[in-house]
Structure 1
């Protein structure tokens, strides 16, 4: 099995753990604070990754260039934008439908990767993206009272627009991170990913810190009070992001994001095994589609 596949599956698993931990944080702080924790408390661990590679393994630290600065800034801002749109959907009806549209990220990443980086995908990879997308949509709308028909009827609704826009931003972010890492041109995919991660989350942390200070100063004290679980979120989140960046240095963003849909299965398993939630047939079919799409992706 290829290296990028193993790394992506591990990153998806860690991202699911981070999401579960962040749910606990939502009980003690607001959305802005919980979002900041993901980045701000990850900075020390990103520094550790770079340090271990540089001093522990002897890899030279690549010198950032203007191309790197442009790509990483675009990706960092796009990721914050995508997250903000997802959060905005919380206040709208039929949130699950919007979430389903946001999961078009791999398809959009394929388009942006072709436009900006010249990444070309074969027919098998495109088919895999389509199959996993169907699975994700099924799981997303399985517990919605209106179900799949609402997904079609709501094409021009505000919620679906927010979901599609969120997927667009996340797709741009994925391609941007791949562009940033590749622009470093060595010494290897691990160091390139580590430096990209460090630059991105430092920038994101500063932006969110300034936003909290300006708009929600009370969040700062709540973040400090929950520093223990926040540090755990930072560790898991930074490690997951390191995995994403390594995988996207080795493979196209679209292929990585298509395989990353396996996270939905991990989330599904968590809801059943940890939270003891009921499973319905639509969710099972969704998981089958995701697994089928991943198998197609791995076999082409």
Structure 2
């Protein structure tokens, strides 16, 4: 099995754990923004501390980072923040497994974003698989409490947040790959570390300033919840290292396609930990998205 595939499996495992912890924080102690900020507060310093050590062990100097690198990094960091906030808001209106599946529209949108931004396209059969996945998204948008035809409910809060998070995650993933491609080094892990350090620091500073101005009380709550928030940071660090390294090795569309295995983990978490149950329509939607992902893996 190729290295980028193993890294992606590792990334979704860390990410599922992080979302579980963030769900607990956002529904009990923190706002959605506060739970998002926790990952940066407790992971960015670790990356900054580790980068000099990695450079020393590899006997390498800090590689040049051109202006295009910073544009990709900043756009990717900003859209990742928005995407994460959207996902945490989904958790308040839908159950855990459906929330993660709606967020997974990223894999259906990354192909388009990647083609536009980086010129990395997909085949016609892959586009067909994407249509199947979008059908699953429409089924998931058919909220149980709603009335009327499904196409009249596509403006529901859960649907907007889910598809919005997918768009933002697609943009962030493609931009992160674009940033790593701007670093002149043959070492994939080093490129991932440098990109992660730049992005994480920018996110910590940017969101920290936003929180201080708009939700000042949340900063103190994030620090007070250091036991759980610290675990969020550690899970975020592990997941980000895996994601970023995978992005240096492979097209973001392919990486996100394999990342759809997170749906299975989220289902297990939903049933075993949160004791939540899915309606048959939600099950059908998740199944269609999963079929789409498996088809993409085989076709591209």
Contact 1:8 1:247 in 2 (8 A): yes
Contact 1:33-1:219 within 8 A present in 2 as well: yes
Contact 1:98 1:161 in 2 (8 A): no
Inter-CA distance 56–183: structure 2 relative to 1 (3 Å threshold): same
Do the aligned partners of 1:129 and 1:255 also contact (CA within 8 Å) in 2? no
Deviations 1:84-121 (A, max 9, x none): 44556678899999986654322322111111111022
Aligned to 2:263: 264
1:69: which partner in 2?
A: 70
Match of 2:57 in 1: 56
Residue of structure 1 in register with 2:176 after alignment:
177
Q: Which residue of 2 aligns with 1:240?
A: 239
Matches within 5 A, 1:170-209: 170-209=169-208
1:163-208, Cα deviation, whole Å (9 max, x unpaired): 4333322221111111001111313211111111111111111111
Measure how far apart 1:133 and its partner are.
Answer: 4.8
CA distance in 2, matches of 1:21, 1:158: 23
Give the alignment of 1:1-300 within 5 angstroms.
1-26=1-26, 27-86=28-87, 102-134=103-135, 140=140, 144-146=144-146, 151-156=150-155, 160-286=159-285, 288-300=287-299
SS in 2 for 1:41: helix
Moved more, 95-104 or 218-227: 95-104
Kindly indicate whether the alpha-carbon contact (under 8 Å) linking 1:103 and 1:133 is maintained by their aligned counterparts in 2.
no
Q: Give the gaps of 5 or more residues in structure 2.
A: none
Supply the distance in 2 between the matched residues of 1:212 and 1:7 (Cα, whole angstroms): 32
Please report how far the alpha carbon of residue 267 of structure 1 lies from its aligned counterpart in structure 2 after TM superposition.
Answer: 0.7
CA pair 136-236 structure 1, distance change in 2 beyond 3 A: farther
Q: Structure 1: where are the runs of 5+ without partners? A: none
Cα drift, residue 44 of structure 1: 2.4
CA distance in 2, matches of 1:262, 1:211: 33
RMSD between aligned residues: 3.2
For this pair of structures, how many residues does the alignment match?
A: 298
Distance 2:97 2:135 in 1: 14
Deviates more, 1:41-50 or 1:233-242: 41-50
1:14 CA drift (Å): 0.8
Distance change >3 Å, CA 129–CA 92, structure 1 → 2: same
> Which secondary structure does the structure 1 equivalent of 2:65 belong to?
coil
Structure 1 stretch displaced more, 172-181 or 241-250: 241-250
Q: In 2, are the aligned partners of 1:96 and 1:141 still within 8 Å (CA)?
A: no
Preserved CA contact (<8 Å) 2:40 2:200:
yes
* Structure 1 pair 94–46 and aligned structure 2 pair: CA distance change class (3 A): closer
Question: Matches of 1:10 and 1:97 in 2, distance apart?
Answer: 21
Q: TM-score, normalised by structure 1?
A: 0.84
The structural deviation recorded for 1:59 is 4.4
Note the C-alpha offset of 1:236: 0.6
